[in-house]
Structure 1
């Protein structure tokens, strides 16, 4: 991934917030991201598809649910940029993290989501 590709991929606020939440949590289900981002499922799914298409995130299916995680094959500098951004801007995601923390019935990774 080139710097241009990374920054283009993260140039939308919804994509940037989703990516950083995934980095922070390790893995999130679409339903968790919908709750955290306080947005519609189609919009969140569209942005997640773009993050997957650019190679930043990987998805996996568990039954009917889709989970997203950071692509482990990314160059170390990409991880560094994301971690630095996350650590230096924690207040930017404060409301997203609060909504995620208040989400009832968060999925259990070995069980069905929502």
Structure 2
């Protein structure tokens, strides 16, 4: 039976010193690893790309499913993983769910990995 990872509240952007600043503690390492794990899938990378480049800043589940040629249920699963990691936010409007990237969370993750990335 695979070992399950502990639950971590990832609703807020990752907040810890950059990994290059010195040895990172276990809790901070887990926070970073869980977020990286959430995006470490080709479909999720494509979804993030579509959300980050969306003209209106957001797209529906159906829109995204069509764009990456997957079923809506599969896309919903991937979006759920990204949402749990705090990398996207979603809002139901009528029968559709609209998704948008959380740029603050992505910027924070980039900064934790390399404090000079956004300079």
TM-score by length of 1: 0.62
Give the conservation status (yes or no) of the 8 Å contact 2:87–2:106: no
Query: CA offset at residue 75 of structure 1?
Result: 5.8
Equivalent pairs counted in the alignment come to 81
Classify 1:75/1:46 alpha carbon distance in 2 versus 1 (closer, same or farther; 3 Å).
closer
Per-residue displacement from partner, 1:2-38 (whole Å, max 9, x unpaired)? 5423321111111111011101112110011011001
Identify which of 25, 38, 41 aligns with 1:9: 38
Structure having the higher helix fraction is 1
1:42 aligns with 2:40: no
Alpha-carbon deviations, 1:61-95, whole Å to 9, x = none?
Answer: 11010000012542634478xxxxxxxxxxxxxxx
1:74 match: secondary structure: helix
- Say which SS state the counterpart of residue 105 (structure 2) adopts: coil
Question: Which runs of 5 or more structure 1 residues have no equivalent in the other structure?
Answer: 81-114
User: Could you say what the CA RMSD is over the residues aligned between the two structures, in angstroms?
Assistant: 2.2
CA distance in 2, matches of 1:58, 1:79: 18
Aligned counterpart in structure 2 of residue 22 of structure 1, from 45, 48, 51: 51
Structure 1 residue ranges (4+ consecutive) displaced by more than 3 angstroms after TM superposition:
77-80
In the alignment, what sits opposite 1:55?
A: 86
Structure 1 or 2, whichever has the larger Rg, is: 2
Cα distance between partner residues in 1 of 2:46 and 2:106? 20
- Counterpart CA distance in 2 for 1:35 and 1:10 is 20
